[in-house]
Amino acid sequence: MAHPARRYNYLLGGKDNFAADRASADAIEKGMPTIRLAAMENRYFLQRAVRFLAEERGIRQFLDIGTGIPTADNTHQVAQRIDPAARIVYVDNDPIVLTHARALLTSTPEGVTAYIDADLREPRTILDDPEVRSTLDWTQPIAVMLVAVLHFIRDDEDPQGIVDTILAALPPGSYVVATHSTWEYLPAAAIEQLEAANPDGRFRARTGEQLGKLFSALDLLEPGVQSASEWWPDEASQPRPSIEDVAFNAIVGRVRATE
């Protein structure tokens, strides 16, 4: 059976994947020939967003849910280049990611990285986890990374309830970074092929409007819901790929101060 983490690893050009993951990725590529470019752009967005929050907003703590198999410039490497004392907890529910977790536990001596095996569909198990509680200081702002993971939450698994539970737990001044796959720019024939490549219905593309609604409790930073390709584009390599080719929407939002 294909696993999202290994399939994404294959799309990024990694070697930690099996035949079923490659076959699934190839089937997706039939409907969306730019899927590899999209995966890379999603990853570059994650790195730009971490840099932005660390450099421009002074964020020093990250809870990265749906980490994926470690690759170049994971959240802690980007954040700790800016401040070696940055603290990061990684979360994934894929046993394969767990077997690679050692590569994420390479913190600077001044900072901390931790990894927990937990499921986003049970957000309280993440928020109440002793390692999450003790590694991060819950009186200080935290950035929650939900990058390319919410599209693995089906509608009947209550994505809004999951997001709301996480937002309610965050200290004032915290941020959320999210990307979400979208099919809104694809022709009907491509969508048909992508649906055929999703036989178990595990994957659920959503529109930019749906992504914005999930995070309507946040103050979204400019430019609001935007293609991952276009978010903070001045810092991105040029020329930028089109939003149709990238097909990932992104947001960075700030938790509102409570009155």
Ligand X SMILES: C[S@@+](CC[C@H](N)C(=O)[O-])C[C@H]1O[C@@H](n2cnc3c(N)ncnc32)[C@H](O)[C@@H]1O
Residue numbers of the site for ligand X (CB under 6 A)?
4-5, 8, 42-43, 46, 66-68, 92-94, 97, 119-121, 147-149, 152
- Please answer whether residues 87 and 106 qualify as being in contact, where contact means their C-beta atoms are separated by less than 8 angstroms: no
Which sign does the torsion angle of CA 144, 147, 149, 154 carry? Answer: positive
Show the DSSP H helices in 118-184 as ranges: 123-127, 130-135, 159-169
Q: Which two tokens stand for residue 162?
A: 């999951």
CB of 257 to ligand X, least distance (A): 28
Question: Quick one: DSSP state of residue 174?
Answer: -
Q: 59 and 48 in contact (C-beta within 8 Å)? A: no
Is the backbone of residue 15 left (phi > 0), alpha (psi -120 to 50) or beta?
alpha
Pair type for strands 61-65 and 87-92: parallel
Q: What are the tokens at 117?
A: 């095996």
CB 206 within 8 A of CB 151: yes
Which amino acid belongs to residue 250?
Answer: A
**Closest approach of ligand X to the CB of residue 12, in Å:** 8
**67 or 193: CB nearest ligand X:** 67
Min separation Cβ 218 and ligand X, Å: 19
Residue 110: CB minimum distance to ligand X, A: 24
Minimum CB separation of residue 17 from ligand X in Å reads 12
Q: For ligand X, which is the closer residue by CB, 91 or 110? A: 91
Consecutive H or E run containing 79: helix 75-82
Q: Closest CB to ligand X among 49 and 243?
A: 49
In the bound complex, what is the minimum distance in angstroms from residue 8's beta carbon to ligand X? 4
Q: Which residues pair with 33 in a beta bridge?
A: none
Which lies closer to ligand X via its Cβ, residue 225 or residue 258? 225
What are the φ and ψ backbone dihedral angles of 246, each rounded to 5 degrees?
-85, -45
At residue 63, the 3 state secondary structure works out as strand
Centre a 10 Å sphere on the Cβ of residue 157 and count the other Cβ atoms it contains: 12
Nearer to ligand X, 72 or 257 (CB): 72
Cβ proximity to ligand X, 132 vs 149, nearer residue: 149
Q: Which is nearer to ligand X, 95 or 187 (CB)?
A: 95
Closest distance to ligand X from the beta carbon of 55 (Å): 20
